Structures are given as C-alpha cells and as structure tokens.
Structure 1
Amino acid sequence: MSLAAHEIAKLDRQLAKKGEDVVLRGQDAPDDGSQDLTLRAFVRGYKPDELSGGINQGDSEVVLSPTGLTVDPARLGGLTVGGRYRTIQVANPVRVGGEVVRWNLWITG
C-alpha cells in the first residue's frame, strides 16, 4: 500500500467513527437534490486566534476525504451541514506523493 493510500484509509476510518454527514452540491446543480453527494466530514468552527484574512466568526473548516468524491470540491457551490446550506469559499487539497489525500474547505454562511 502506498503512503498516500495509507493516509486516505486512515482518514476514512476516522471519518467513519467521528465525522458527520454533509451534502455536497455543485455550483450549477439543480435544487432538486438529484446531483447531491452525501459524504462524511469533520466540521469545526474557527478559533478566535484564526479569525483573520476574511475568516469570520461563524465560518467553519471542513475536512473531506477524496474517497467517493466525483468532482473537485473547488468547483462545488456549497454543502449542507446540520441542515444548513453553507458556501465553499476555498478548497485546498493536501497531497502526499502528488496524490490528494484530503481536502480542507473554508465554508461560510
């Protein structure tokens, strides 16, 4: 197993245990939910010392695994967390050996 595959598997196990379901929706997807994708994610609010560079109280950081992602999160419009639709501001991939092993998202709304 490659290091990247190992890191993805480790993240997937943690998301299964401690993550929550979120629903991803593309920028141009219809509101009927026909193109929505439900995945597990870690969602947390930013700490006071992290509020800078446009990050505000109420914004959140989301960690997604690349497992099951059929689109680039940077091209997504937003996601629903706890029944509330949130807009993706930034989607940063984390790579190991050139392969994406996780996505860190900044969401608002």
Structure 2
Amino acid sequence: MSHHLEARRRTILTRGRPMTLRRERAGQAALVVEVTGFARAYRPEEFQGGVQANDQQVEILNDEIAAAGWPAPPGNPDRLVMDGRTSTVKGARPVYAGAELIGWSLWVNG
C-alpha cells in the first residue's frame, strides 16, 4: 500500500465520521453505501465556477465504494447524508496515488 493512501486513510479515519452515499434509480431499489468521510467549508477564494457559500468539500476513501460494488463515480444527483442532513453531490474528483484510485473529493450542496 502506498504511503499516500495510508496517510489519506489515517486522516479520514481520524477526522471523519459516518456518512451514507445514496443513488436513486427509477423502478429499482436505491443504491446505498456507508462511508467514512470528513467535510470542510470552501474558503472565500474558492468561490468560483459555481461554488456557493453553503457548499462543502467532502473527502472519502474509495475502499467502501469498491467493496459495495458502487458504480463510480459519485455525482449528481447522488445524495450524501451526514449528521442527519442530506446534501446533493454536485461533482466528484478522483484522488489517485500513482495509478491507484484511492478516494474521492466530493463537492456537495445542502
């Protein structure tokens, strides 16, 4: 395992909390996966390209998504439930360690 993956895993597990990623599918059961992640508000200098004051960036690992067979990437209109609040996933940026996909940086609103 790469040093980058271990450092990211340690940060997320230390700073993170349980969250639920949910994807509704017409006529089928919703896809649901429990993940651990941490959220941070965007800084004022990051308010560009559609980022709004109530948006957050959420860091999660790819481990839980891959283990659940979640069809990556997370994205709109997926929902992320954290601390009892539901947010809409507006976008997701993959995080790599070399060629290995190790996580996702989600842009959420709500």
Query: TM (normalized to structure 1)?
Result: 0.81
Higher relative contact order structure (alpha carbons within 8 Å, sequence separation ≥ 6): 1
- Structure 1 residue runs without a partner (length 5+): none
Partner of 2:17: 20
3-state SS of paired residue (2:25): coil
Kindly indicate which of the two structures has a greater share of residues assigned to strand: 2
Partner of 2:92: 91
Letter in 2 for 1:12: R
Query: How far apart in 2 are the matches of 1:28 and 1:57?
Result: 29
Computed over aligned residues only, the root mean square deviation of the Cα atoms, in angstroms, reads 2.2
* Match of residue 60, structure 2, among 55, 59, 64: 64
- Using the TM superposition, give the Cα deviation of residue 20 of structure 1 relative to its aligned residue in structure 2, in angstroms: 1.2
Partner of 2:74: 74
* Match of residue 46, structure 2, among 46, 50, 70: 50
- Using the TM superposition, give the Cα deviation of residue 29 of structure 1 relative to its aligned residue in structure 2, in angstroms: 7.7
Letter in 2 for 1:74: P
* Percent identity for Structure 1 against Structure 2: 29
Query: How far apart in 2 are the matches of 1:10 and 1:29?
Result: 38
Query: How far apart in 2 are the matches of 1:41 and 1:100?
Result: 16
Letter in 2 for 1:101: I
The alignment status of 1:41 with 2:37, answered yes or no, reads yes
Query: How far apart in 2 are the matches of 1:10 and 1:54?
Result: 30
Mapping 1:2-17, distance limit 5 Å: 3=2, 6-17=3-14
The worse-fitting range, judged by mean Cα deviation, of 10-19 and 55-64 is 10-19
- Structure 2 residue runs without a partner (length 5+): none
3-state SS of paired residue (2:63): coil
